Amino acid sequence: MAKYASLYQQEALAARRSWSAHREVGDDLLETLSVPITTAALSDALARRFEVANDRTYTYVGDTLLSVNPAPRLLHHATGNSIYDEATVFWYRDHDEAACSPHPFALAKR
């Protein structure tokens, strides 16, 4: 059974929405939080983004990039490529920061 564990994990990942390099509503918590920013509010918002918003590992809080350490391997689910591969580097290089989702590659352009 253990040899099939990766297949179940891949199916679970495929059932989730593909990771996207495109900026989405909620990528900057300063723009979306309607409550005062506290540790509890940040923790709750990050957990919701990761669990509900399909592995949104990176989040901006203004100019600060926050990261949630994910359990599954991060993939472009549609292509199977890592979100850290060369194609992703070039995508972030070639697009304006306003169009890019939170990611270390977007931060590196600053």
Please state the domain count of the chain.
1
Strands (E), 1-110: 58-61, 64-67, 75-76, 81-82
Per residue in 17-52, pLDDT (tens digit) is 556 778 888 888 888 887 788 888 888 888 888 777
Evaluate if pTM is beyond 0.85.
no
Helix (H, G, I), strand (E, B) or coil at 88: helix
Structural domain boundaries enclosing 86:
2-108
CA distances from 65 to 46, 74, 101 (A): 12, 17, 11
pLDDT score recorded for residue 95? 93
Q: Is the pLDDT of residue 10 over 70?
A: no
pLDDT score recorded for residue 94? 94
Residue 65 · residue 58 · CB < 8 Å = yes
Per residue in 86-103, pLDDT (tens digit) is 888 898 999 998 888 888
pLDDT score recorded for residue 45? 85
